[in-house]
Amino acid sequence: MMRFWPLLVLMYPLTAHLSIVYGVPLPAALLLVTVLSLSFRQAMARRDRTNVLMLTLYAVFTLMMVEWTGLRGALYLPPVVMNASVAYLFARSLMPGRTDLITLIATHVEPEVTPAMQRYARRACWAWMYFSASLAIAAAILALYAPIEIWSWSTNVLNYLLIAGFFIGEWLVRMWVLGRNQTAGPLATLRAMSSFDYKQLLQT
């Protein structure tokens, strides 16, 4: 069942948006419970106490949201948590003595990571951190003050268009700064990102 976990995660934004549009939050809530249950099961099997604790806290906060706002409250947390987690990954890799995340990914696609690449990668890592944090803050603000339909269009549709646009824009800037011959293509970068061991980053 775990092999379907990435597919379930990819299905979630569309399912959540359709659930909001049609006023039936149950399908998205059930999908969310499935993803969390699989994640919890995997964390228990690996005896990963940190992930078990984080997933437990997430479940508690989700139940609190459901208590306050009904079943649709379960759908408010994922966009905030996801974007905040991505921002945290970038920020953690930027701490003194660590190699930034983009440089680590570059080592999977570039034959040689030059000093110029490292300087650019660190700046790009800062940009991605601020961008991801902004998405998390925007999702939280919209959840508090915007109608749920506006929140859903923003977090489940617009966010992913913005991420795709930021990814392509950052690649174009990288190609302009470093030169086309020193820049891996978008598809090679995406493959490296999908195969990167992010858990190892958290443990170092």
Q: What pTM does this model have?
A: 0.82
For the segment 43-66, the average pLDDT, to the nearest whole number, is 80
Instruction: Write down the pLDDT at residue 190.
Output: 64
- Residue 1 is predicted with a pLDDT of 47
197's CB contacts (< 8 A; 6+ apart) are: none
Extents of the domains making up the chain:
1-69, 76-204
Give pLDDT tens digits for 123-144: 999 999 999 999 999 999 999 8
- Torsions phi, psi for 135 (to 5 deg): -65, -40
Q: Rounded mean pLDDT of the chain?
A: 83
| The three-state (H, E, C) secondary structure of the chain, written as one string | CHHHHHHHHHHHHHHHHHHHHCCCCHHHHHHHHHHHHHHHHHHHHCCCHHHHHHHHHHHHHHHHHHHHHCHHHHHCHHHHHHHHHHHHHHHHHCCCCCCCHHHHHHHHHCCCCCHHHHHHHHHHHHHHHHHHHHHHHHHHHHHHHCCHHHHHHHHHHHHHHHHHHHHHHHHHHHHHHHCHHHCCCHHHHHHHHHHCCHHHHHHC
Residue-level pLDDT at 184: 62
Q: Higher pLDDT residue, 192 or 38?
A: 38
Decide if pLDDT at 195 tops 70.
no
* 203: pLDDT strictly greater than 60: no
Q: What pLDDT does residue 2 have?
A: 46
Quote helix, strand, coil % in the chain, to nearest 5: 85, 0, 15
Query: How does pLDDT run across 133-191, given as a tens digit for each residue?
Result: 999 999 999 998 999 899 999 999 999 999 999 988 988 888 888 776 666 666 666 66
CA nearest to 87, candidates 166, 8, 161: 166
pLDDT at 111 over 90: no
Residue 8: per-residue pLDDT: 74
Angle at 58 between CA 52 and CA 63, to 5 degrees: 125
